[in-house]
């Protein structure tokens, strides 16, 4: 599954350091979830599913529609949820996949994205897992930051990523007037495999319906916003052996869609608070990052697994304390 290569994308009309990319920015954008949107308020989500994510000046990666939301934007019926979970769980069965355990299975599919010359230029990650906590807790909890190792203060470790909100003044200079309840702009910086530093601004839009019934959901669409100066730099070592960053180069092609829906009661049993989380992520990988070696494919699945397990443990602590 992890070695399957996707069709060509369309033309345009150390372990701790690596954790900064695992489910990249899912923690930030879900934690910034806003209030309920109007029916037509999910513009970025619709745009990304329709137009895809540009990787280069002439290549765009399509982004598949979420599995657990219908075309109308509402959670799919129980029968469809069960069918999809059966595919994801494979021989292990649905009950093993959805069980309340930090080490319950995680469905991770990572496919190569190629250009018209059949050269690999990126990856599509599809990650699905169940957490035994309510959607409210999932989207509000700071524990989601553990998926990335993102820090919000300077007091925390320097070997993970960093994120800060873009000021209103900066947005105004670019003619951006975001809805403060539904949009967020975060300046991010994170290392990849001790080889690359990515820096830029993530724009995220959140749509949610939380009314305490089976129709509850949260969607987050996010991408590295091309209206800002986004870049990557090689991480090198100087004559003293200290890590330094080299000359920066423009970068685009990072984004995705995250959905959180209730696990139907018919499947969840007594646990009414179980939530299905799905993250679909596109990552552009310039050849200069790793010299053409498929480093991300070999490292990301294991890192994602560790981050999801950490998230489950932290959410379980918060969930148990709230009872």
Please write the tens of the pLDDT for every residue from 45-54. 998 999 999 9
How much is the pLDDT for 144? 46
In this predicted structure, which of 20-29, 79-88, 198-207, 260-269 has the lowest mean pLDDT?
Answer: 20-29
In this predicted structure, which of 22-31, 240-249, 280-289 has the lowest mean pLDDT?
Answer: 22-31
**Single pTM value for the model:** 0.82
How much is the pLDDT for 314? 86
Q: Which of 168, 183, 189, 249 is nearest to 222 (CA)?
A: 183
What backbone torsions phi and psi does residue 176 show, to the nearest 5 degrees? -100, 125
Are the CB atoms for 259 and 278 separated by under 8 Å? yes
Higher pLDDT, 311 or 30: 311
With bands split at pLDDT 50, 70 and 90, how would you rate the model's confidence at 251?
Answer: very high
Q: Which of 207, 203, 206 is nearest to 222 (CA)?
A: 203
With bands split at pLDDT 50, 70 and 90, how would you rate the model's confidence at 12?
Answer: very low
A 10 A CB-CB count for 136 gives 18
What backbone torsions phi and psi does residue 81 show, to the nearest 5 degrees? -60, -45
Instruction: Report helix, strand or coil for 214.
Output: coil
How much is the pLDDT for 154? 44
Q: Is CATH 3.30.530.20 the classification given to domain 5-322? A: yes
Task: Tokens 């059949």: give the residue.
Answer: 118
Q: Report the distance separating Cα 66 and Cα 290, nearest Å.
A: 30
Are the CB atoms for 255 and 282 separated by under 8 Å? yes
């Amino acid at each position: 599954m992890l070695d399957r290569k996707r069709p060509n994308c369309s033309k345009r009309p150390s372990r701790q350091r690596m954790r900064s990319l695992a489910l990249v920015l899912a923690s930030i954008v879900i934690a910034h979830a806003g209030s309920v949107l109007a029916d037509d308020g999910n513009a970025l989500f619709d745009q990304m599913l329709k137009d895809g994510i540009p990787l280069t000046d002439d290549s765009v990666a399509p982004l598949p529609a979420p599995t657990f939301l219908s075309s109308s934007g509402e959670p799919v019926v129980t029968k469809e949820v069960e069918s999809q979970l059966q595919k994801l769980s494979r021989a292990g069965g649905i009950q093993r996949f959805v069980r309340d355990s930090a080490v319950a299975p995680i469905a991770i599919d990572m496919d190569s994205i190629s250009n018209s010359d059949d050269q690999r230029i990126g990856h599509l990650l599809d990650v699905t897992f169940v957490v035994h906590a309510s959607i409210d807790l999932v989207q509000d909890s700071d524990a989601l930051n553990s998926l990335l190792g993102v820090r919000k203060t300077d007091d925390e470790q320097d070997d993970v990523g960093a994120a800060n909100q873009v000021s209103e003044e900066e947005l105004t200079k670019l003619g951006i007037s975001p809805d403060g309840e539904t949009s967020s702009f975060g300046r991010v910086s994170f290392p990849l495999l001790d080889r690359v530093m990515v820096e830029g601004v993530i724009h995220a839009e959140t749509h949610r319906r939380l009314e305490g019934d089976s129709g509850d959901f949260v969607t987050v669409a996010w991408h590295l916003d091309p209206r800002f100066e986004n870049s990557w730099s090689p991480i090198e070592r100087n004559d003293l052996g200290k890590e330094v960053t080299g000359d920066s180069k423009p970068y685009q092609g990072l984004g995705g869609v995250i959905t959180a829906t209730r696990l139907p009661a018919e499947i969840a049993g007594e646990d009414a608070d179980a939530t299905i989380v799905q993250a679909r992520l596109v990552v552009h990988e310039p050849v200069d990052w790793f010299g053409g070696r498929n480093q991300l494919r070999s490292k990301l699945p294991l890192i994602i697994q560790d981050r999801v397990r950490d998230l489950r443990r932290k959410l379980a602590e918060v969930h148990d304390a709230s009872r």
